[in-house]
């Protein structure tokens, strides 16, 4: 693949990241290629696991579902020859885990967990996560309110906050 095609595919990914609802024809116009080329590139990006999943961002609170999210800081002891990967693999296989990232700094893994209530999340941490061999400590932070997710403002209530001036 030449550099120009690679650059166009990267541009395509940026356009998809901004607005996935665009048609292949709209994307093709913006990139100066044929719609069939976009279709082929999308197929290749999916096969190469570059374009993994296209998922809507849902305001669950507004939809009436008050699930609980928590960010859990996990400190672990890396294992010989596999480092952090083996423990991370055990953790990301739990269905409660929404996101898992290796971090630099005070803790090793950042785990985002979702449950139907605080007790369910706490139960997951105490019985499943904290009991894994190699997990040294966990610190749980419950999400109280989401303002922005995946670069999208959840509720943009731009009210005019200027003081009313009367004559």
CB 112 within 8 A of CB 71: yes
HSE-CB of 95 using CA atoms within 13 angstroms = 3
CB 38 within 8 A of CB 45: no
**25-74: pLDDT as tens digits:** 999 999 999 999 999 999 999 999 998 877 777 777 777 777 899 999 99
Residue 130 is predicted with a pLDDT of 96
Return d(Cα 40, Cα 50) in angstroms, integer.
Answer: 14
Bridge partners of residue 142, in order along the sequence: 70
What DSSP designation does 127 have?
A: I
Strands 109-115 and 68-76: antiparallel
User: 97 phi and psi, to 5 degrees?
Assistant: -80, 120
Residue 161 is predicted with a pLDDT of 61
Return d(Cα 5, Cα 3) in angstroms, integer.
Answer: 5
Return d(Cα 87, Cα 111) in angstroms, integer.
Answer: 12
Residues 83-99: what's their mean pLDDT? 95
């Amino acid at each position: 693949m030449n550099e120009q095609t690679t650059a166009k595919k990267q541009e395509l990914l940026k356009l998809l990241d901004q607005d996935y609802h665009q048609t292949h024809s709209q994307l093709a116009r913006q990139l100066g290629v044929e719609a069939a080329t976009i279709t082929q590139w999308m197929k290749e990006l999916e096969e190469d696991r570059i374009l993994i999943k296209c998922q809507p961002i849902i305001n669950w609170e507004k939809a009436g579902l008050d699930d609980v999210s928590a960010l859990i800081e996990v400190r672990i002891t890396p294992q010989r020859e596999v480092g952090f990967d083996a423990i991370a693999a055990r953790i990301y296989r739990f269905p409660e885990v929404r996101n898992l990232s290796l971090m630099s700094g005070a803790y090793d893994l950042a785990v985002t967990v979702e449950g139907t209530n605080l007790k369910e999340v706490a139960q997951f941490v105490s019985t499943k996560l904290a009991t894994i061999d190699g997990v040294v400590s966990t610190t749980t932070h419950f999400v109280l309110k989401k303002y922005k997710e995946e670069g999208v403002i959840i509720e943009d209530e731009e009210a005019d906050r200027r003081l009313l001036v009367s004559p």
